[in-house]
Structure 1
Amino acid sequence: QLPFSYFFYFLALFRLAIMNYKTCFHLLLALFIPRSVLCLAMTVRNLNSDQFALLEFKDRIAGPQNVLADNWAASTSVCNWIGVSCGILHKRVIALNLTSMNLRGTIPPHLGNLSFLLSLDLSSNHFYGHLPKELGQLHHLRILQLSYNRLNGEIPSWLGNLQRVRRLQMKNNYFTGRIPETLVNISNLEILNLGLNQLSGQVPSSIFKISSLKIIILSNNSLSGSLPNDMCQHLPKLEVFYLRSNELSGNIPSSMGKCSNLKNLSLYLNQLTGIIPRSIGNLTQLKELYLGFNNLEGQIPEEIGNLLGLEMLDIQAIKCLTGQIPTSIFNISSLKTIVLSNNSLSGSLPTDMCQYLPKLELLYLHSNELSGNIPSSMSKCSNLKNLSLSLNQLTGIIPRSIGNLTQLKELYLGFNNLEGQILEEIGNLLGLELLNIQAIKGLTGRIPTSIFNISSLKTIVLSNNSLSGSLPNDMCQHLPKLEMLYLSQNELSGQIPSNIFNSTTLEEIDLFNNKLEDILKHLEVLNIFVNNLITGSATDHEWSFFSSLTNCRNLKTIAVSGNPLSGVLPTYIRNLSKSLQYFYASNCELQGIIPMEIGNLTNLLLVQLGYNKLSGFIPTSIGGLRNLQSLGLSSNKLGGPISESLCGLERLYEMYLGLNKLHGSIPSCLGNITSLGYLHLDSNKLSSTIPSTLWNLKDILEIDLSSNHLHNSHAIDVGNLRSLLKLNLSRNLLTGDILSTFGGLITLVSLDLSNNILYGQIPESFDELISLEFLDLCNNNLSGVIPKSLEKLLYLKYFNVSFNRLEGEIPSEGCFSNFPSTSFMKNYALCGPPRLLVPPCKNDIHKNSQMIILHAFRRCRRRSTTLPIKDDLLSLKTPRRISHAELSRATNGFEESNMLGSGSFGYVYKGRLSDGMEVAIKVFNLQTEGAFRSFDIECDAMRNIVHRNIVKVITCCSSVDFKALVLDYMSNGNLEKWLHSENCFPDIIQRVDIMIDVAVAIEHLHNGHRTPIIHCDIKPSNILLDEDMVAHVGDFGVAKLLGEGEVKKQTMTLATIGYMAPEFGSTGIVSIKCDVYSYGIILIETFTKKKPTDNLFAEE
């Protein structure tokens, strides 16, 4: 039988073998590995390496339907797994395609072991984290597709090692930093797609030297700098070049014309300057050209007319682009889309502009300076679906031939200098969905009735013209899809058709400023609460629909809450009916200020403007609304002080001003509004004392002043508030005692005084709050005991006194039988039942007794030793004294967030001592059988152990009802976490080093003392790793001390299944062989990543 030290020597040589690679490695295998280990090595070696890599991959990802978990089974051939393709001859994995399988997790490094892989496609999943460097080992890879994930970090330079890759697609991730120059090494690259990331810096000039490139997509990043002048010199095969939505500057290189095979070019949304080079006309293969949203200047070159295969031309939003539209553009018969809007183009349109555009579907020329007539030949663009000529200087009439564009869906002709009438022929456009002919003062006559027969129409905008006549009585009868109707500022007359209000789809109507007879003039209630209505105007525009309500002289209620109307309240709100009583406009996305003119509506009883984005001050004119009973302005951005003018609201019952930015003091005169039932000023920046006048509001039901900076000059006396249901003064700066007068509030349901600086005791009179359901006093400086009389509060459902200085027994009867431990945590000296996580109450122990410090070390010193004293034992000669209070502070009251783990006899917490030292604190659960003995065993076992590979005990804290060990903190956790983590796994050198450390530690335990120490529970979770990944054996709670050659019989087995020696589990016999067996199991697990309970070992 080999001695245990064999393992140590073997692993040391094994590490050397790895570093000197294969020759030495094979020699060591032959010389040193025992037969059992050789058998295991052969078993692992015979496993298909591809299968092993994919099983590791499966273990590290999750999917909602567990597709891989059900399909990827070790019992079936890897070549039959979903998403896996194998070579015909060698049966090695050559392709892995898991696209769009909703998989989550990090990409594990094991994929780098698929050495025959040609294609890896993980696109359209939820992979995150960095790319593992092991993927750089896939030297046969041709396709790497990782688009549409959540990968981050920089694009690694080792991608340049994948020299056979043809497609590199990593679009739509979160990659940052620069594009690595090493990509130039991928000499056969055909597709490079890094769009929709967060890349920065310049585009590496080396990319433009990869002559095999056909597609370059770098759109939607933050790339800067200029394009190389010779960028197309080495790109003869380039077909797609997308750099849109970046921060590129400089000129468009004139050498662009040398990319002779280019089909798609997008430089859209950058900061490019200079002119559009004429050489672009040499790109005769071009199908799509996007140059818009840049800082270019000059004219559109005539040479663009050479692009006879062009289908999409988009040069928009360039204000310095002037001159005429080249007529040659209108000769490109392949064009389907022309977008030249938002420039400064001038001149007239060719009379035969549609003669050679049979495929044109979209023509956007709006927002330019075009003049002249609309060509009548426009009708020859027979496939046109979208036509926009708005915001130009076009003259003449609307040609009848437009009625021949029967495919048209959208027609914009507004904001021009046209004249005449809207022609009846527009009624021929039976597929039209949007008609916008607005702001043309020369447009007269009636609205053609044929327009109202176009059943596909969703939007009609004919406002701000000079149209006259009446509207057809059945105007909405044939418009089943109509959503928006704008006819304002015309000269329309007659009655508003009644069926307009029967439309089930109509969302917006604007008939303002016509001569129509108002059928709404008798309207009293307008209630369009909680719909999806919008104003149709910009967010900073006034509510224009208010103007149409000014004639409703009997209007008493406006209820528009819950609609995303946006915009601002207009000043002509003053023109609304003086009979208006109720104004509901909360949650409407309102912006701007509340107009002072609201004070003109003197009969208002209710104003609800909460949950908007209103800013500015609260208008003082509101104080003049003497009849107002409810004022709701919560959840806005209102600032300034609370005006004393509000004190004039003598009939006010509800005042909601919470969740704003109000500052200053609370006006004491609010206490004079004796009608107040609800006062909410919470979540502002108020900083005064609380006016004592508020405590005189005898009929008030709710007061909420929480989350401010309020303080008090005297104790708060609420004895007069006999009707109060809810009082919330939390999160302020209140001090002093809680007066017993609170007990008189027999109607009080909710009381929150938390997060203040209150001190003194909890009043006994609280037991008189017979209606109380909610009581929160946490985070104060309250002392004394919790009155047992509070058990009488039958309706109390929530109680919290945590973070105070309370002591004594926690009441246990009545409502207190249901409160959790969090209700009492972090107090001075509360005691009670174990479920509340406080010490038990012991009548025979004085409540102020001190903890007995370092009990275990005193026991240890009673035993003599002949071992030499080393330097690092000096700290044990005078162990540091530490108290329960210091340990509590170090762990924030043994807070759960500081817990590192738990075991059979207690919990381990991370703590920081007063000197800043980080430690691990093992707290024994003394309610567990054997905990006292376990504490003593650890002291006995470790009193003489000082070794770099064994966890060091710094000190301990021991009393009758509390025992803890203070240990060195190991920042890298335990070995189990590293072996079975999804994100990190030690390399083989680290694993060998760790196992050498453990071997040395066990050798020291067995042979480094006169009395051997047997650990009895060696397993990965008891092997801890410090910041340098040095292993330390810990947790000696079930250890044994043996004489020479001695064995012991353990009556209760506490070791861990799988790591426990067979003789220990079956007979309870303990010897050093038990630790050696456990070590062998860990050795296997460390190098196979298979737990002893894995199916791999099921038959052994």
Structure 2
Amino acid sequence: MDSSSLLISCTVLALLLTFPSSSSSNLVEQEALLSLKASIETDPSAPSLSSWNETSDLCQWRGVTCNNSRGRVTTLDLSGLGLTGSVSPSIGNLSQLQFLFLQKNQLSGELPRQLGALLHLQVLNASSNLIGGAIPPHISNCLNLTALDLSSNKLSGRIPAELGSLSKLKLLDLGKNFLTGTIPDTIGNLSSLSTLDLATNFLNGEIPSDLGRLHKISHLQISINNLTGHLPSSLYNLSSLTFFAFALNDFFGEIPGDIGHRLPNLLTLNFCFNKFTGLYPRSVHNLTNIQTLRFSYNLFHGPVPSGLGNLHDLNMYTIAGNQFVSSAPNGLEFLTAMTNSTKLEYLAINDNLLEGMIPDSVGNLSKSLTKFMLGGNRILGSIPASIGQISSLSLLNMSYNSISGEIPPEIGQLKQLTVLDLAYNKLSGKIPADIGELTMLTKLGLFGNQLEGSIPSSFGKLQNLISLDLSSNDLEGGIPREVFTLSSLSSLLNLSHNSLMGSLPQEISNLQNIIAIDLSYNLLSGNITDYIGKCGSLQTLSMANNSFSGEIPETIGNLKALQSLDLSLNQLSGPIPDSIREIQALDYLNLSFNNLEGVVPTEGVFRNHSAVHLEGNSRLCYSSSCKSTGIHWKVLYSIIVASVALVLLLVVSSICIFLIKRRTNKNFLPTMNSMKGKHPIISYEELHRATESFAATNLLGRGSFGCVYKGVLGDGVKVAVKVLILEAGGALKSFLAECEALRNARHRNLVKLITLCLSLDFKNNEFRALVYEFMSNGSLDDWIRGKRRHADSSGLSLVERLNAIIDMASALDYLHNDCEVQVVHCDLKPSNVMLDEYMTAKVGDFGLAKVLGHKDEAEEHSTATHGLKGSIGYIPPEYGFGGKPSAKGDVYSYGVMLLELLTGKSPTNEQFAGNLSLKTWVATAFPCELMQVLDAELTIAGAVNYGRQQISREKQDECLTSMVRVALACTEESPDARLTIRDALAQLKSTRDDLMRPAVATNNYNYINVNIQ
């Protein structure tokens, strides 16, 4: 071999020795990718990873990019492929990987700690998935990372302090997760960071002042958390900031008056929904490049300073929900200055103390303005005709002011308008027919004014109208038939408290999708048309205080969804239609003060006498002997028989007391003895009398192990008597478990156990019952299903729902943490939560409860059933795999209940099938489309009154968002990832404090976009 050949051979050998692992490395990476494929599930109809197989070069596989010189995987891009499954730990074997894109899939499971082995990784994007668990601190080993985006997942736990070692990191986005704990000080070490997004989590504590060391940061987003305290002054020195958003937290204190000078590059400033005080920071008007200014719902006071005319690029300006003041008549002249902001799209000054008249110059505001809100102030004068020049307006809200004069017909020029709310002002004159030209209108609120004349027939053109409220005016004449042709009406038609005349036309049958119709307190007459039965979605119908005559149509029974029917104070005659008793959802019926006659039905809603009002109908009766006016001899005979029976019962009860001492189960005596001295045992005879012989009319509910009856004891105390069905398997264990759980439990949010009954019935059969305090407002399930409503036909308000879930959480917190022995309920669901006369929620039915405080005794007495504990839909997933009852299991059931209360949807609803559950349905919509899945009664309402204050639409939306976040955090698949009930209680109380923060009167249709940027 010559020297040249020898040189070539040595060179080849050297190369082989230098890269001995190229082929073996490719094999390792191939196996890693195939393992990843095995852990990922794809849509069989579109197999995204079909090219991943052993017969082809992995560098040709979809989403895989290799280094050309060595054939090693450097980029893996699987974004947007609809992948499910989890991320395999084998991904850590892709040792040369630099870019990993997994975003916009449906991956679940946890992030593997093996990601920390990817020492060359520069970008990791796993956003917009369903990944849970904690953020692995091992990611801090990836010292070359410049971008880490894990947003829009279900990550929980704390933010690892180790992330502070990623000195090259420019983007850190952990927003829209379920992270808890404080923000680590070490984040301040990320000297290269330009974007930090921690929004929409459960972070608490104060902002670390070390964040003031992020001198390159331009985007700082920490909105929608539970953070508190003052903002560190160091943050106001981050001169490179362009995006500064701290909305929806609990920050307080004043904003420096020179903020505009210290942060000269700001484009977005969002401090809304906090507790900032002090004067408006005048210097922000020097930020001539600012695009978004949001100070809404804080405690700012004083006047709006001058200088708004300098903000030429402004597209969003909201100072709503503060205490800004101005003096009449020129108090709104700052709106004139805003005509220089030619890019303005969103303007909200509602819910303040602003006085003055709307200037004519308002018509010169930006032609791009889509939302303009002035409601809830002290605005005087009339609506200027120039308002019609703001041609792009989609929402105009001037409600709850003192605006007078006529509605200018020029409003009809706002062709893009979808919401028009002028309610609760002093408007007079006729309703302009021009409003009928607003064909895109979905909501029209003119109630609470002094409008007169007739309803324009041009309203028939409003074919997109969902809600129409003209109530509490001075309108007269007939209701135009055109109104009843608006088949789009699906929420509300309210024409009550006017002077409208005429009859109800058959065109009402067009309103097949409407939920509520209120025509009460008018001068309407004639028969109630049979066509009312065509309104199949109707839940509330009120036609009280009119002059309707004739019979109530049988077709009213076709309204299967009807929950409230009020036909009182009319001239209706004839019998009560039998069809009404077939309406199972009906829980309020008022037919009082008519001329009805005949026998009152006894089925359906008529079983509940408190829900039916029939007074003022002298010819109605409750039996076939309607014509009898005296005491029939049979009645007298019955009284004599009853007296004799009473004496016999007294004798029998004495015998029962003697026998019960001999027949009582010995194993039960310790539990009963613990109750003696506190609750005197009651006799069967007394319960028999208290419940009117356990009459069906007193039956409140039926469960697996017993029936619950309403009763009145001899001393007049109303009670709920739970009678055990001893033949039912597990009934005795349920009885024992309930006694054991409540033996030492005393809390205002637990249904109070008054006494017990251990006796024999009149047939000498064993009888056992628990006697509880009577809860006059029924169960939470009754309210969710619409079986109960308030006297005004309304359901549970937001405040009532929030109070109820706080009451429930308080009860669970006591049972889990403060009771003498720890108790887990194991069967939390709406039907086991009761409401008293003050709408206080109390948890009841401890038949499946588990006492965890003393193991041996718990095993002996508290196990009520074998296998799964709970009710389908509320059972935590770990119970299905043999998990033992735990406090975290109760938290899961509680979270499901909270979702049900907010959506009105049962977890067993037929729409939830396959992989879709109540939780995933809500989670998919959270937070951007949340209002689409919530109960309509919570989302279509405007400002609501509570005591002497009003709660704005925007504050309600904030509250709902917070409540859903708690519910989702309680229903995590992993018990360790769930909130504790104490944490959930603390967050909900904080939410209530924010909601009930004193505010000025608000508007009724305040549809503010709650997207927090």
Shorter chain as denominator, the TM-score bin is: 0.5 to 0.7
Residues 990-1013 of structure 1: CA deviation (Å, up to 9, x unaligned): xxxxxxxxxxxxxxxxxxxxxxxx
**1:79 Cα offset (Å):** 1.0
Distance 1:81 1:424, change over 3 A: same
1:395 counterpart letter in structure 2: L
- Give the Cα separation in 2 of the matches to 1:295 and 1:371: 23
- Give the Cα separation in 1 of the matches to 2:535 and 2:482: 25
Cross-structure match for 1:470: 454
Does structure 1 residue 490 correspond to structure 2 residue 477?
A: no
The residue correspondences of 1:319-398 to structure 2 (distance < 5 A) are 320-347=299-326, 348-350=331-333, 352-383=336-367, 384-398=369-383
Cross-structure match for 2:233: 254
- Give the Cα separation in 1 of the matches to 2:602 and 2:509: 18
TM normalised by structure 2 equals: 0.55
| Counterpart selection for 1:150 from 121, 130, 145 | 130
**1:74 Cα offset (Å):** 1.1
- Give the Cα separation in 1 of the matches to 2:192 and 2:363: 46
Cross-structure match for 1:817: none
| Counterpart selection for 1:49 from 28, 41, 60 | 28
Does structure 1 residue 299 correspond to structure 2 residue 279?
A: yes
Cross-structure match for 2:741: none
Distance 1:275 1:141, change over 3 A: same
Determine helix, strand or coil for the equivalent of 1:94: strand
TM normalised by structure 1 equals: 0.51
For the Cα contact (< 8 Å) 1:612–1:636, is it kept in 2?
no
**1:385 Cα offset (Å):** 1.7
Does structure 1 residue 286 correspond to structure 2 residue 269?
A: no
2:167 counterpart letter in structure 1: S
Cross-structure match for 1:408: 393
2:161 counterpart letter in structure 1: E
For the Cα contact (< 8 Å) 2:527–2:548, is it kept in 1?
yes
Larger radius of gyration: 1
Say which structure is richer in helix: 2
Residues 390-447 of structure 1: CA deviation (Å, up to 9, x unaligned): 1110112211221221222222122211222222322322332322222222x22222
Residues 671-717 of structure 1: CA deviation (Å, up to 9, x unaligned): 999xxxxx99754885489xxxxxxxxxxxxxxxxx983358xxxxx
- Give the Cα separation in 2 of the matches to 1:207 and 1:260: 18
Cross-structure match for 1:1048: none
For the Cα contact (< 8 Å) 1:148–1:173, is it kept in 2?
yes
For the Cα contact (< 8 Å) 1:628–1:651, is it kept in 2?
no
Determine helix, strand or coil for the equivalent of 1:134: helix
Does structure 1 residue 534 correspond to structure 2 residue 515?
A: yes
Cross-structure match for 2:827: none
**1:274 Cα offset (Å):** 0.8
Q: How much is the aligned-residue C-alpha RMSD, in angstroms?
A: 4.6
**1:296 Cα offset (Å):** 1.6
Cross-structure match for 2:104: 124
| Counterpart selection for 1:500 from 459, 464, 483 | 483
**1:565 Cα offset (Å):** 4.2
Does structure 1 residue 114 correspond to structure 2 residue 97?
A: no
Distance 1:305 1:100, change over 3 A: same
**1:493 Cα offset (Å):** 2.9
Distance 1:578 1:497, change over 3 A: closer
For the Cα contact (< 8 Å) 1:610–1:636, is it kept in 2?
no
Does structure 1 residue 82 correspond to structure 2 residue 54?
A: no
Does structure 1 residue 579 correspond to structure 2 residue 563?
A: no
Determine helix, strand or coil for the equivalent of 2:276: coil
1:367 counterpart letter in structure 2: D
2:307 counterpart letter in structure 1: S
**1:457 Cα offset (Å):** 3.0
**1:448 Cα offset (Å):** 2.4
Does structure 1 residue 181 correspond to structure 2 residue 164?
A: no
Distance 1:558 1:308, change over 3 A: same
2:222 counterpart letter in structure 1: L
**1:512 Cα offset (Å):** 2.3
2:495 counterpart letter in structure 1: L
1:238 counterpart letter in structure 2: I
**1:301 Cα offset (Å):** 0.9
1:493 counterpart letter in structure 2: E
- Give the Cα separation in 1 of the matches to 2:417 and 2:134: 49
The residue correspondences of 1:696-775 to structure 2 (distance < 5 A) are 709-710=724-725
For the Cα contact (< 8 Å) 1:370–1:393, is it kept in 2?
yes
Distance 1:191 1:495, change over 3 A: same
Cross-structure match for 1:748: none
Determine helix, strand or coil for the equivalent of 1:249: strand
Does structure 1 residue 235 correspond to structure 2 residue 218?
A: no
Residues 791-824 of structure 1: CA deviation (Å, up to 9, x unaligned): xxxxxxxxxxxxxxxxxxxxxxxxxxxxxxxxxx
Cross-structure match for 1:165: 145
Distance 1:664 1:600, change over 3 A: farther
1:501 counterpart letter in structure 2: F
Distance 1:380 1:558, change over 3 A: closer
Residues 110-151 of structure 1: CA deviation (Å, up to 9, x unaligned): 110101100111112222222222111100000111112222
**1:574 Cα offset (Å):** 11
The residue correspondences of 1:1075-1094 to structure 2 (distance < 5 A) are none
- Give the Cα separation in 2 of the matches to 1:217 and 1:651: 76
| Counterpart selection for 1:245 from 224, 233, 242 | 224
**1:192 Cα offset (Å):** 0.6
For the Cα contact (< 8 Å) 1:605–1:628, is it kept in 2?
no
Determine helix, strand or coil for the equivalent of 2:176: coil
- Give the Cα separation in 2 of the matches to 1:98 and 1:286: 35
Determine helix, strand or coil for the equivalent of 2:131: strand
Does structure 1 residue 423 correspond to structure 2 residue 408?
A: yes
Q: Percent identity?
A: 29
1:332 counterpart letter in structure 2: L
For the Cα contact (< 8 Å) 1:147–1:172, is it kept in 2?
yes
Question: How many aligned positions are there?
Answer: 628
For the Cα contact (< 8 Å) 1:417–1:440, is it kept in 2?
yes
Residues 920-975 of structure 1: CA deviation (Å, up to 9, x unaligned): xxxxxxxxxxxxxxxxxxxxxxxxxxxxxxxxxxxxxxxxxxxxxxxxxxxxxxxx
**1:95 Cα offset (Å):** 0.6
Does structure 1 residue 309 correspond to structure 2 residue 289?
A: yes
For the Cα contact (< 8 Å) 1:327–1:350, is it kept in 2?
no
Determine helix, strand or coil for the equivalent of 1:127: coil
Does structure 1 residue 513 correspond to structure 2 residue 510?
A: no
For the Cα contact (< 8 Å) 1:397–1:418, is it kept in 2?
yes
- Give the Cα separation in 2 of the matches to 1:462 and 1:249: 40
Cross-structure match for 2:603: 631
Distance 1:150 1:430, change over 3 A: closer
- Give the Cα separation in 2 of the matches to 1:619 and 1:485: 26
Determine helix, strand or coil for the equivalent of 2:468: strand
1:533 counterpart letter in structure 2: I
Distance 1:243 1:463, change over 3 A: same
- Give the Cα separation in 2 of the matches to 1:296 and 1:613: 47
2:357 counterpart letter in structure 1: N
Which structure 1 residue ranges, 5 or more long, are not aligned? Answer: 1-40, 536-542, 640-645, 653-661, 674-678, 690-706, 713-728, 735-891, 894-909, 912-1100
Distance 1:326 1:43, change over 3 A: closer
The residue correspondences of 1:531-680 to structure 2 (distance < 5 A) are 531-535=512-516, 544-547=518-521, 551=525, 553-554=527-528, 559=533, 563=537, 565=539, 579-580=551-552, 582=554, 583-584=556-557, 588=561, 590=563, 603-606=575-578, 607-608=580-581, 612=585, 627-629=599-601, 631-632=603-604, 648=622
Determine helix, strand or coil for the equivalent of 2:252: coil
Determine helix, strand or coil for the equivalent of 2:235: helix
- Give the Cα separation in 2 of the matches to 1:74 and 1:733: 63
